[in-house]
Amino acid sequence: MAEQGEEVILLDFWASMFGMRVRIALAEKGIRYEYREQDLRNKSQLLLDSNPVHKKIPVLIHNGKPICESSIIVEYIDEVWNNKAPLFPSDCYAKARARFWADFVDKKFYLSGRKLYTTKGEEHEAARSEFIECLKLLEGELGDKPYFGGESLGFLDISFIPFYAWFQAYETYGNFNFEHECPKLFAWAKRCIRDNESVSKTLPEMPKVFDFVQHMRKRFGLDD
């Protein structure tokens, strides 16, 4: 946990899968911190000052110093609070591979998933195919292992599991069944939640996220 006198603040938004991964990492390390929910349509001055380049959450502020971008924050947490089990594998190749797939999640998977509930027509159909392909690629990387890194929750698991909270929206607007398409990956998600309190206590309920997505779609003019 954070040492006495240390100040740890997290600027975040409850539904953000990127913020969730930081919260899971903090929980895994047993770090006490102050959570400050952000209104993304009326961003706080602290958020704008802390992340002037992207103006996005999450931002971790450690003793007055801001760290931005969720994957970088998780790596920072792992390096600074190294009294608990590491989140990254010790093997350099395995570490590079975990980083590669986390980057794949952030770019390819996230964007195709977003298009499932923000587009229509041909663009939507293309996004659906791409999204399912991404799932199958990730399932291939998981293989028969309990977790992506082996026997315990690690960096890539923490990077990907927050997206599970959005799967009611993905399945509804993508018109597919996660368990049917990728049974091993589905079992992995259930295992992450069942066996890791840091995950189960962080992820919001799917219906709550789905309701949030429905409101977004109305704002985008996609639903009446």
What are the boundaries of each domain within the chain?
A: 8-80, 92-219
Q: Give the fold, CATH level 3, of 92-219.
A: Glutathione S-transferase Yfyf (Class Pi); Chain A, domain 2 (1.20.1050)
Taking 60 as the threshold, does the pLDDT of residue 2 lie above it? no
Q: Does the global pTM surpass 0.75? A: yes
Contacts of 74 by beta carbon, 8 Å cutoff, 6+ apart: 21, 22, 25, 87, 155, 158, 159
How many other CB atoms sit within 10 Å of the CB of residue 121? 7
- Confidence class for position 4, pLDDT limits 50, 70, 90: low
pLDDT computed for residue 112 by the predictor: 97
pLDDT computed for residue 222 by the predictor: 82
pLDDT computed for residue 20 by the predictor: 98
pLDDT in tens, 202-221: 999 999 999 999 999 998 88
pLDDT in tens, 176-197: 999 999 999 999 999 999 999 9
Q: Give the DSSP letter of residue 84.
A: S
Percent of all residues in the chain with a pLDDT value above 90, rounded to a whole number? 93
Percent of all residues in the chain with a pLDDT value above 70, rounded to a whole number? 97
pLDDT computed for residue 224 by the predictor: 62
Domain 8-80 homologous superfamily, CATH: Glutaredoxin (3.40.30.10)
E strands present in the chain: 8-12, 34-37, 59-62, 65-68
pLDDT in tens, 45-88: 999 999 999 999 999 999 999 999 999 999 999 999 998 899 99
